[in-house]
Amino acid sequence: MKKLEVGDKQFNLLGQPIRLIAGAIHYFRVVPEYWHDRLQKLKACGFNTVETYVAWNIHEPKEGEFHFEGMADLVRFIETAEELDLFVIVRPSPYICAEWEFGGLPSWLLRYSDMRLRCADPTFLQKVDAYYDVLIPKLIPHLSTNGGSIIAMQIENEYGSYGNDKTYLEHLRQALLRYGVDVPLFTSDGPTDYMLQGGTLPDVLATVNFGSKPEEMFAKFREYRPTEPLMCMEYWNGWFDHWMKPHHTRDAEDAADVFDRMLSLDASVNFYMFHGGTNFGFYNGANYGEVYEPTTTSYDYDAPISECGDLTPKFHAIRRVLSQHMDIGECVLPEPIVKKQYGGVNLTQKADLFHHLLQLSDSITSVYPLTMEQVGQDYGFILYSTTVSGPRLNMKLHLQDVHDRAMVFVNGSYLGTVERWDPKPLDLDIPTGSVKLDILVENMGRINYGSKLKDAKGITEGVRLNGQFLFDWTISPLPLDQLSGLQYSHFRDVTSEGPAFYKGSIEIDDIADTFIRLDGWKKGVVWINGFNLGRYWDRGPQKTLYIPGPLLRKGNNEIIVFELHGVDNPEIMLVDTPDLG
C-alpha cells in the first residue's frame, strides 16, 4: 500500500524518506485543455507533487445542484496528474480563501441569515455534509492507498486566522474519516501563536504558510510541533493584484533564495502559486483591510508559470536551486503554446441595458431594497428602480452600505457613481412632479478572507434622501448568464449613453492564445463565444484579458463587451502580448 507516513521530522513513502516539492495549480482557473501542459511544466521544474484547492461554489452553484464538468472536472484534473506520475495534495476545505469569490463558499449560504460560517453551527455543518456526500466519494478511488495519486488532504484552511472552534475542526476531520479517507490529514496556518493555537488539532499534521524568513517561521512552528516534518504548505513566492493598485512582482533570485534556505532546513515546500491562472467570469474575490479591495481578473501571481503558461525567470531560478538539493532529471517541456495577434475588431452592434431588462431579468417588487442573495442571485449586477416625488432641492442621496459599486441615473441620465471604498453621497435636485431613480449595483467579488467574510451584495441597508429612507422598489437581478435575448442595432443608431452591450465578430483560421486590449473602454465585462472572460477596468493595473486558444473556434467568433460608462470608438484589439501593469 502506497501511503505517505508522517515520521520523526520527515515524511516516508514505502519505507524511504521523501521530500514533497509541490506547486499549486487550481483546475478551476485553467481551461481543461491546458491542464496537461501546466502539469507537465510543473514536473519539468523538478517537482513531484501538485496541490489544488477545491472550490465549493463551482461544484454546488445552487443548493443541491452539483457540477463536475468542464473546468469543474476535478477528477479529470487528478487523473491528468496521475498520467504524469505526480502526487496530488487536495484541499477540499469548505473554505479555501485563494482570492476566490467568497473564499470558495457558495453565495447561497448567505440566504440563511442566522447561519454562522466556519464553526459548528448546525445549519452550516449540515450544508457541508451534504456537499461532502457528493464530493468526497469522487476522491476516494484516487487516494494513494487505493492506487491513485492523492497523498494528503486538508481539513480546513488557515482556520487560525478566523476562529478557534475545535469542535468544528474535529467534525470536518471525522467526516473525511467516515468517507474512508485514510491518507494523512493536515491543517495549514500562519506561523504565529494565535493562528497555530486556533487552527490546529493535537493529533493532526500541522503545516505553515509564509513567504519569507523561513528560519524564523519554522522556529515558531517547532515550538508547537517539535517532531513533525517541516512543511510550508503555501510558499508565497509571488502575490496577487487588486484593482486600482500597482501590479505585484517579486525578484526571482529572492524567491529562489528563500526556497534554498527552506530546502537546507530539510523542509517540504508547496509553491503558492506555481501557476496562478485566471479568475474567469465573476469569480474574483476581494479583501478588506481598511477598505474593500477587489481582486483583478488575472491571477498571474508573478508565479514560475505565467497566467498564459509561459516560463518566467522564477521557473529557471527555482529549478536551478532544486537541482542543487535533489536529482531532478532533465527539463522535458511540452511544445510552446502559440500566441497570435489577430488585430482590431469593431463592435458595431449595440444593445442598451435599460431597454432590454425584460430579456435579461425577471423583476420583482419590494418595499425596501433586497440584496442579491435575498432574491436568489449569485453574481453580476442588480438594478433598483423607484419613483421619487418633488420638488426637493439641495438633497443628498445616500446609498447606505452599498456592496460594491453603484451607478445612479435620474430619468435615464447619469448622475454619478457611489463606491463602497469611498461612499460619498450624491447631490440631487428633484423638480416639481417626480423623477425615475435607477441604481445599478455591481457585485465586484465577495470578500474571501478575514472577519468580514459574510459579504452580502447590492444595497444592504437602504437608500436615503437626506435622512428619509425611500421605499417601494422594483428590483431587477442581472446575473448576465444568458445574453441570447438581446436585440442589437448599429451602435450609431443607439443614442443612449448608459450601460450597453457591444457585439462584434472575427473570423479565425489559425487558433492560438491571444489577449484583448480595451484601450478607450472604461469598465465592464467581456464574453468570447458565450464564455465570460471576466472584468476590465481602466483604473488598472491589468490592461489585457487573456483568451486561451481553446475558447476560440475556426470560423466566426463572437465577442460581446458590456461597457458601463460608454465608449467613443467601439474597437478592441487582439494582441499577442499580455499587459498586467
CA distance 375 to 371: 7
pTM of the model: 0.97
Half-sphere exposure of residue 129, counting CA atoms within 13 Å on the CB side?
13
pLDDT at 456: 98
300, 307 Cβ separation under 8 angstroms: yes
pLDDT above 90 for 496: no
pLDDT tens for residues 526-567? 999 999 999 999 999 999 999 999 999 999 999 999 999 999
pLDDT above 70 for 91: yes
The fraction of the chain above a pLDDT of 90, given in percent, is 98
What residue ranges do the domains of the chain occupy? 19-323, 343-352+499-575, 354-478
Is the CATH number of domain 343-352+499-575 2.60.120.260? yes
Q: Where are the beta strands (DSSP E) in 282-380?
A: 286-288, 292-294, 343-346, 349-352, 364-366
375, 459 Cβ separation under 8 angstroms: no
pLDDT above 90 for 494: no
pLDDT at 1: 64
Interacting residues of 200 by C-beta distance below 8 A, sequence separation 6+: 160, 187, 189, 206, 224
Tell me the three cell numbers of residue 271.
509553491
Phi, psi of 462, rounded to the nearest 5 degrees: 175, 180
pLDDT at 495: 81
Question: What mean pLDDT comes out for the span 128-145?
Answer: 98
Tell me the three cell numbers of residue 403.
456592496
By annotation, the residues acting in catalysis are: 158, 234
CA angle 30, 107, 97 (to 5 degrees): 55
Smallest CA-to-CA distance from 88 within 136, 24, 131, 44 is with 24
pLDDT above 90 for 56: yes
CA 395 → CA 125, 289, 398, distances in Å?
47, 32, 10
Question: What mean pLDDT comes out for the span 224-252?
Answer: 98
Question: What mean pLDDT comes out for the span 261-275?
Answer: 98
Going by pLDDT thresholds of 50, 70 and 90, the confidence category of residue 396 is: very high
Smallest CA-to-CA distance from 187 within 203, 159, 206 is with 206
The helix-helix angle for 313-323 and 252-264 (nearest 10°) equals 20
pLDDT above 70 for 155: yes
pLDDT tens for residues 6-20? 999 999 999 999 999
109, 115 Cβ separation under 8 angstroms: yes
pLDDT at 493: 86
In which element (H, E) is residue 264 found?
A: helix 252-264
Smallest CA-to-CA distance from 77 within 21, 37, 104, 47 is with 37
Tell me if 343-352+499-575 shares its fold with 354-478.
yes
In terms of CATH, what superfamily is 354-478? Answer: Galactose-binding domain-like (2.60.120.260)
CA 560 → CA 77, 345, 440, 486, distances in Å?
30, 11, 20, 11
Q: What is the mean pLDDT of the chain?
A: 97
19-323, CATH topology level:
TIM Barrel (3.20.20)
Question: What mean pLDDT comes out for the span 191-208?
Answer: 98
pLDDT tens for residues 497-508? 889 999 999 999
262: helix, strand or coil: helix
pLDDT above 90 for 139: yes
The helix-helix angle for 74-83 and 35-44 (nearest 10°) equals 40
Q: Where are the beta strands (DSSP E) in 247-329?
A: 268-275, 286-288, 292-294
